[in-house]
């Protein structure tokens, strides 16, 4: 499938302050809301996968600094700080991707609902309504999983950010080793985040497969 993260019109949409203009313009290029929906779910899934790995890497680097065994401590800290900033940027991207999925889903479901009213055939109208209901139910599961993962971002970022900030002004082995007591709680939060992100990714894969099967 083509990538629909088209650059053509985001600026136009932002200037107009409305998604309706953007979706309408995209349809003129033969890119329908259904296509955008699938593409945005894929983008949200991929962003979660990338961000999950960034958090895992940040945790590994945090443990490496806390259990510092020799070398240049400042270098270890700088590496961790860069990874933390990437994790923060990844978390922002996850939030934005989820919002973009919500925007196009609302537009698609509204359009689908309106089109159902246009059927002259009771049989076709009923069949389309069943498809809409099924797709909406699966979408509800998907967005719930994504938001559950999203809710775990700050409980990981906040204490990790505090620890890294403390390190900045205490780059000595004794002060750093005192942070060991925080490792368990932060690791537990990261583990929960990873599990929820993996669950959301699996839901996205299942949703994409089901949507692509609908004629």
Can you give the length of the chain in residues? Answer: 215
180's tokens: 């060991």
> How far, in Å, are 45, 58, 177 from residue 54 at the CA level?
14, 6, 23
Report CA 57 to chain centroid distance, whole Å: 17
Radius of gyration, CA atoms only, the chain = 22
Q: Which of 16-25, 53-62, 80-89 has the lowest mean pLDDT?
A: 16-25
Instruction: Determine the pLDDT at residue 35.
Output: 87
pLDDT band at 4 (very low <50, low <70, confident <90, very high): very low
For residue 186, being part of any structural domain is answered with yes
For residue 65, being part of any structural domain is answered with yes
Mean pLDDT of 52-70: 90
For residue 128, being part of any structural domain is answered with yes
For residue 45, being part of any structural domain is answered with yes
> Alpha helices, DSSP H only, in the chain?
10-16, 19-28, 33-66, 73-116, 122-150, 153-168, 173-177, 180-213
Say how many domains are in the chain. 1
> What is the C-alpha to C-alpha distance for residues 152 and 147, in angstroms, rounded to an integer?
9
| Number of C-beta neighbours around residue 127 at 10 A | 14
For residue 180, being part of any structural domain is answered with yes
Are 201 and 45 in contact by the 8 Å Cβ rule? The answer is yes
User: Does pLDDT of 23 surpass 50?
Assistant: yes
> What is the C-alpha to C-alpha distance for residues 21 and 3, in angstroms, rounded to an integer?
19
- Spell out the SS3 assignment of 103-165: HHHHHHHHHHHHHHCCCCCHHHHHHHHHHHHHHHHHHHHHHHHHHHHHCCHHHHHHHHHHHHH
pLDDT band at 30 (very low <50, low <70, confident <90, very high): low
Instruction: Determine the pLDDT at residue 211.
Output: 83
pLDDT digits (tens, 9 = 90+) for 117-142: 999 999 999 999 999 999 999 999 99
Angle at alpha carbon of residue 84, lines to 79 and 89, rounded to 5°: 130
User: Does pLDDT of 188 surpass 90?
Assistant: yes
> What is the C-alpha to C-alpha distance for residues 197 and 208, in angstroms, rounded to an integer?
16
pLDDT band at 21 (very low <50, low <70, confident <90, very high): low
Q: Which of 20-29, 149-158, 163-172 has the lowest mean pLDDT?
A: 20-29
For residue 165, being part of any structural domain is answered with yes
Mean pLDDT of 8-30: 56
User: Does pLDDT of 196 surpass 70?
Assistant: yes
Q: Which residue range is the domain that position 154 belongs to? A: 32-213
CA nearest 104: which of 54, 194, 44? 44
HSE (side-chain half, CA atoms, 13 Å) at 103: 18
Angle at alpha carbon of residue 50, lines to 49 and 51, rounded to 5°: 95
> How far, in Å, are 33, 129, 149, 176 from residue 124 at the CA level?
21, 8, 38, 67
Counting residues of the chain whose pLDDT is more than 70, the rounded percentage is 85
For residue 83, being part of any structural domain is answered with yes
User: Does pLDDT of 78 surpass 50?
Assistant: yes
| Number of C-beta neighbours around residue 20 at 10 A | 10
For residue 161, being part of any structural domain is answered with yes
């Amino acid at each position: 499938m083509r990538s629909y993260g088209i650059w053509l019109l985001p600026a136009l949409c932002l200037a107009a302050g409305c998604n309706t203009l953007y979706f309408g313009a995209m349809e003129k290029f033969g890119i329908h809301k259904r296509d955008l929906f699938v593409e945005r779910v894929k983008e949200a899934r991929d962003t979660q996968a990338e961000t999950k790995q960034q958090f895992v890497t940040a945790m590994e680097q945090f443990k490496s600094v806390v259990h510092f065994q020799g070398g240049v401590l400042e270098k270890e800290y700088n590496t961790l700080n860069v990874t933390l900033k990437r994790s923060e940027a990844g978390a922002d991207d996850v939030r934005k991707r989820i919002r973009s999925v919500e925007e196009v889903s609302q537009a698609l479901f509204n359009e689908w609902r309106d089109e159902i009213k246009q059927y002259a055939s009771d049989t076709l109208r009923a069949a389309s309504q069943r498809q809409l209901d099924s797709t909406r139910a699966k979408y509800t599961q998907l967005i719930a999983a994504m938001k559950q993962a999203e809710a775990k971002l700050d409980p990981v970022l906040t204490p990790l950010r505090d620890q890294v900030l403390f390190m900045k002004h205490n780059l000595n082995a004794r002060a750093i080793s005192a942070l060991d007591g925080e490792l368990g709680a932060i690791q537990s939060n990261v583990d929960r985040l990873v599990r929820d992100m993996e669950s959301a990714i699996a839901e996205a894969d299942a949703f994409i497969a089901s949507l692509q099967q609908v004629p």
